[in-house]
Structure 1
Amino acid sequence: MADDPDVPDFEVPVGMFEDLEDLKAHVAALTAQVKALTETAGADPGEAFADDDPASEENHDGGTEEDDWQYPPFILLLDPPQYDDELRALIEWVEGVLVPGYLGEPTSDSRWCHLWFEHPVAIARLHALWLAWQELTDPATCGYTGPSVWHRDHLDPCMRELRPSNGPFAGCTKGEHQIDHRMPGTVPSAWRNDLGE
């Protein structure tokens, strides 16, 4: 046992092993992020990114548009069919996990709209909540504290913004829905990163 460098020579409290496992998970996640960033950044750290020039022809070396996104994009910036696919997956998660597990009966102080997917602010916030849930419930990246962090930093603030009496569902009551909350046909161009258009 003394020859093994991973086994300490002193008695370690049990809680410390859990902390070490959390740290290992965070280090593994950060290492993967650094590797992904350095692979896309080019060989020299001082070089400018190729993506900085939107008019550059060299930006696309045979890759698809999906390769341009390293992380899931902001859902309201997606175009069909990507938007439709992402919204379908989000609806499945909200209706299958969030609603039955976390949302009680709507009240005047804690509102919910059964047509939440027609409220742009609800789509945006719930999509962000879902992305955080995916990351913080994945044992490879979250460690032991991931679920607690998700509840504290993501679920609770999201519900405080969506469900108050003056929130986005303020006009929606049981059996009624305000039609003027429907999604706009196009996302305002100011939201897009396309500087060249």
Structure 2
Amino acid sequence: MADDTPDFEVPMGLFQDIEDLKAQVVALSAQVKALTEGVGEASGEAFEDDTAAGEEADTADEEEGFPPFILLLDSPQYDEELRGLIEWVEGVLVPGYLAEPSSDARWCPTWFDHPVAVARLHACWLAWQELTDPATCGYTGPSVWHRDHLDPCMAQLRGSSGPMAGCTKGEHQVDHRMPGIVPSAWKQAT
């Protein structure tokens, strides 16, 4: 009996798309599980106020090993997370991805003094931690990280209107876009 299946070639990009979809399914399955477990526990009980629920969610994330966003931390947790971020930026990002700074692509050596840079780089680092683990995201995770996280992050940070726009070689300005004196029109009438 002859085989009636048609011969066709599968484009290479299709395999990458499938791996991306697998990673998304794993992430969504985890979210659905977390949500359905939370609903099951809350059924028949009165819902707590939003503050208590938010605190429980933060605690649950920490217990599951998910680091909280750096701007939500207070000392000493903030300092500890910042140390890890500095280690990653200076050990991986700067030597591997940043070319010589220029007027089109600025970089401040004291980037950690720029709160916007800390926030964006921390988010990029969290994504890197997740997307460079083949067990959770397959082999296309690094490609997704470059496309969806690194490139947009660097474009925002290093662009002419980014948080490092006022920093040039030898000169560092953290609050270069913030007015030093409040204009009189903004002051309240006495």
Structure 1: gaps (5+ residues): 1-8, 182-197
- Distance (whole Å) between structure 2 residues aligned to residue 176 and residue 22 of structure 1: 42
Query: CA offsets, 1:152-189, max 9 Å, x none?
Result: 111111111110223211221112212547xxxxxxxx
Matched-pair contact (CA < 8 Å) for 1:25–1:140: no
Query: CA offsets, 1:47-93, max 9 Å, x none?
Result: 6784544369xx99xx8x74365643331121011111111111111
- Distance (whole Å) between structure 2 residues aligned to residue 49 and residue 141 of structure 1: 36
The percentage of counterpart residues that share the same residue type is 70
- Distance (whole Å) between structure 2 residues aligned to residue 154 and residue 95 of structure 1: 18
By how many angstroms is 1:32 displaced?
A: 2.8
RMSD over equivalenced CA pairs, Å: 3.4
Structure 2: gaps (5+ residues): 177-190
Structure number having the greater helix percentage: 2
Matched-pair contact (CA < 8 Å) for 1:28–1:141: yes
TM-score when normalising by structure 2: 0.71
Aligned to 1:33: 31
**Aligned residue runs from structure 1 range 19-168, under 5 A:** 23-43=21-41, 50-54=47-51, 66-67=59-60, 69=62, 71-168=66-163
Matched-pair contact (CA < 8 Å) for 1:41–1:49: no
* Bigger RCO of structures 1 and 2 (CA < 8 A, at least 6 apart): 1
Which one-letter code corresponds to 2:51 in the other structure? P
